Amino acid sequence: MKAARMKRPSKPKAPSVEILIGQRIRALRQQRDVTLDQLASEVKLTKGQVSRIENGLVSSPVSTLTRIAAALGVGPGAFFQSDGTIRRAICRRRARASVFRG
């Protein structure tokens, strides 16, 4: 008789980039009160294609994301920002690395 194996608890998977982009597109579309039909017509896609993009079921080319961004009045980079803010890194003067030429 074989002993039953205990399954290791699986680590929660991070959402794929397609899912994150789709969620951002849907949020922007809904904030602007744009329907799937309206967005699809504007970007020359079918309603089903836009739905698949929003649900993260397909990986869209940059050209398609650019058309969707333009239709929603944002830049394509907005799909990669979680809260719409631009993040910048700062470097304090004392923390800078010194470069010597010689």
Dihedral sign for Cα 39, 45, 51, 53, please: negative
How do residues 58-77 score in pLDDT, each as one tens digit?
Answer: 999 999 999 999 999 999 88
* Domains of the chain, each with CATH number or no CATH: 17-80 (1.10.260.40)
Give yes or no for residue 3 having a pLDDT over 70: no
- Record the tokens describing residue 58, joined without a space: 């397909």
Q: Other C-beta atoms within 10 Å of 71: how many? A: 19
The pLDDT of residue 83 is above 90: no
Q: Based on the number of CB atoms within 10 Å of its own CB, is 28 exposed (0-12), middle (13-18) or buried (19 or more)?
A: buried
pLDDT, tens digit, 9 for 90 and up, residues 14-45: 778 899 999 999 999 999 999 999 999 999 99
